[in-house]
Amino acid sequence: LKYGRGENDDKQNQITTYMRVRELMERFEAKHGTVNCKHLLSGCDLSTATGQQEFQQNGLIERCYGYVDTVVTIVDEIYAAEE
């Protein structure tokens, strides 16, 4: 939201947003090897009922918490570098 583009904003805001998102994705992938949920969850396919059941039964939400923590840390670092 910080870098969003409103109706009256110039295209530079959109470009800045894309650059920040790209940085976030690259840094996340460097740490975890991928940005693909299925790969992050060792092949668990959340788009299927079986995958959702596997996700719940194996406590895979705990992995997700770690991934969210990584994203928050990276976003904080991106913001801090700009100040």
Q: What value, to the nearest 5°, has the Cα angle with vertex 64 and ends 60 and 66?
A: 115
Section 45-69 average pLDDT:
97
Tens of pLDDT, residues 68-77: 999 999 999 9
- Per-residue pLDDT tens for 18-41? 899 999 999 999 999 999 999 999
Residue 35 is classified by DSSP as S
Residues 6 or more apart whose CB falls under 8 angstroms from that of 16 comprise: 3
